[in-house]
């Protein structure tokens, strides 16, 4: 019995060794590259695309086919032949790199699959791109009329704005003309929480930066969307340029994303209602809001995008841990335009991980 057990153990060890040896034998393709890394060194973005060639040889006894070549970036393009490579035959794989808009150091991988994709070889190209000098039009893409004033953005998305804190974003401008430009911002939509320092006069050839900032005091008790729109008026020049700022006012979370925090989850956030008649009765659809956290979930704000949309849940609603509530959305078709309706409902909660949730409401009004 002892001899038999030892025999079995020895056979098991030999089997494992044989498997490892077999795996080692098949783990490498017979297609061998003379190098695995090509360093382009320092190149100029202005000079355009650069290419290199990885040479290979089939060290095996049977033909090899390159099945596929994957790259880690769309800026890298491989060129290769799918023709079988005979034993001892040599070949080349060309790789082209486009440095456009990719200033700085880079390292891109090229993965070569052979043997019916059983084998893979990883190649790499590296280098450093010196950025080209951008034109005024590229740096400041938005022209304000034909007076010579240009700006680099028309919208500034702030994302979350925490109550009691200041958050700033910046807009850059330039006067390309030979005369001073007098400007003013006329606010057409106001939240009451945004400030800016846009200059009233911009000297000839001058450039600068404007600060737009949101500050929502805790005492305001405001939660929800922040939307502000400014019309950019230039003296002696027609302009239809508007600058918008946007964000969401949320509470200050002392310990965000902790284990005890409330967690809001909807069973669905895309809500479709059936085709309805404009003269018909209101229709109702619903979803469920669950608190998967360990503290009460508090709804701070509920704001539909259209007066035709109302909800059963209101600001101040509280959901206990592990509990859920039905959220009913009622659509009044008489208040909507004919055709496809695409509206939304923005909810702000005390979920520190994702304070803002958005429900989309879509349907057709006939």
Task: Tell me, yes or no, whether 157 and 214 share the same domain.
Answer: yes
Return the percentage of the chain with pLDDT > 90, whole number: 89
At residue 1, does pLDDT exceed 50? no
**What is the rounded distance in angstroms from the CA atom of residue 4 to the CA atom of residue 12?**
12
pLDDT digits (tens, 9 = 90+) for 284-302: 999 999 999 999 999 999 9
Report pTM: 0.73
In a domain, 245, yes or no: yes
pLDDT band at 256 (very low <50, low <70, confident <90, very high): low
Average pLDDT, the chain: 92
Q: Give the alpha-carbon dihedral of 132, 136, 137, 142, to 10 degrees.
A: 130
184 is in which domain, residue-wise?
136-250
pLDDT band for position 260 (cuts 50, 70, 90): confident
pLDDT for the residue numbered 254: 78
3-class SS letters over 137-171:
HHHCCEEECCCCEEECCCEEEEEEEECCCEEEEEE
248/263 Cα distance (integer angstroms): 18
Tell me what the mean pLDDT of segment 145-152 comes to.
Answer: 96
How large is the average pLDDT for residues 91-105? 96
The answer to whether position 109 is within a domain reads yes
Q: What number is the average pLDDT over the span 303-311?
A: 97
| 361 and 269, same domain (yes or no) | yes
Residue 26 lies in a domain: no
Helix (H, G, I), strand (E, B) or coil at 15: helix
Instruction: Tell me what the mean pLDDT of segment 20-32 comes to.
Output: 59
User: Taking residues 109-134, what's their average pLDDT?
Assistant: 95
Give residue 259's pLDDT: 76
For 160, phi and psi rounded to 5 degrees?
A: -85, 135
Q: Taking 90 as the threshold, does the pLDDT of residue 150 lie above it?
A: yes
Q: What is the pLDDT of residue 14?
A: 46
More confident residue, 2 or 311: 311
In a domain, 13, yes or no: no
In the predicted structure, residue 12 carries a pLDDT above the cut 60: no
Residue 313 has a pLDDT of: 97
Q: Which pLDDT value is given to residue 5?
A: 47
Of 354, 216, 229, the C-alpha closest to 292 is 354
pLDDT for position 29: 86
Q: Which two structure tokens, joined as six digits, stand for 16?
A: 């494992």
- Structural domain total, the chain: 3
pLDDT at 166 over 90: yes
Beta bridge partners of 78: 95
Same domain, 349 and 308: yes
Residue finishing a domain among 130, 154, 177: 130
Residue 24 lies in a domain: no
State mean pLDDT over 259-267.
92
CATH of the domain at 329: 2.60.40.10
Cβ-based neighbours of 197, under 8 Å, separated by 6 or more: 210, 211
């Amino acid at each position: 019995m002892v001899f038999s057990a030892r025999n079995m153990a020895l056979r098991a060890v030999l089997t494992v060794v044989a498997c490892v040896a077999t795996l080692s034998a098949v783990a490498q393709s017979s297609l061998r590259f003379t190098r695995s890394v090509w360093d382009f060194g320092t190149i100029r973005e202005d000079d355009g695309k650069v290419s290199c060639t990885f040479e290979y040889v089939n060290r095996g006894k049977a033909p090899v086919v390159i099945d596929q070549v994957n790259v880690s970036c769309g800026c890298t393009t491989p060129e290769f032949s799918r023709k079988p490579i005979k034993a001892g035959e040599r070949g080349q794989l060309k790789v082209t790199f486009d440095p456009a808009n990719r200033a700085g150091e880079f390292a891109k991988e090229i993965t070569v699959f052979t043997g019916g994709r059983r084998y893979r070889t990883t190649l790499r190209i590296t280098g450093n791109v010196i950025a080209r000098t951008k034109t005024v039009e590229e740096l400041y893409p938005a022209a304000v009329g034909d007076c010579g004033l240009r700006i680099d953005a028309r919208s500034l998305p702030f994302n979350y704005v925490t109550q009691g804190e200041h958050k700033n974003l910046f807009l850059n401008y330039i006067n390309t003309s030979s005369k001073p430009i007098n400007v003013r911002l006329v606010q057409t939509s106001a939240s009451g929480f945004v400030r800016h320092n846009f200059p009233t006069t911009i000297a000839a050839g001058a450039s600068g930066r404007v600060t737009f900032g949101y500050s929502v005091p805790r005492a305001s008790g405001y939660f929800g969307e922040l939307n502000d729109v400014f019309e950019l008026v230039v003296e002696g020049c027609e302009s239809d340029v508007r600058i918008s700022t946007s964000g969401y006012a949320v509470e200050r979370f002392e310990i965000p994303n902790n284990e005890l925090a409330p967690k809001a989850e909807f069973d669905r956030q895309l809500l479709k209602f059936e085709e309805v008649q404009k003269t018909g009765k209101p229709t109702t659809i619903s979803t469920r809001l669950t608190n998967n956290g360990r503290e009460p979930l508090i709804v701070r704000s509920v704001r539909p995008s259209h007066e035709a949309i109302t909800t059963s849940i209101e600001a101040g609603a509280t959901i206990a841990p592990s509990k859920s509530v039905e959220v009913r959305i009622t659509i009044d078709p008489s208040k909507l335009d004919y055709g496809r309706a695409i509206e939304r409902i923005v909810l702000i909660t005390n979920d520190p991980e994702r304070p803002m949730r958005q429900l989309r409401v879509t349907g057709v009004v006939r």
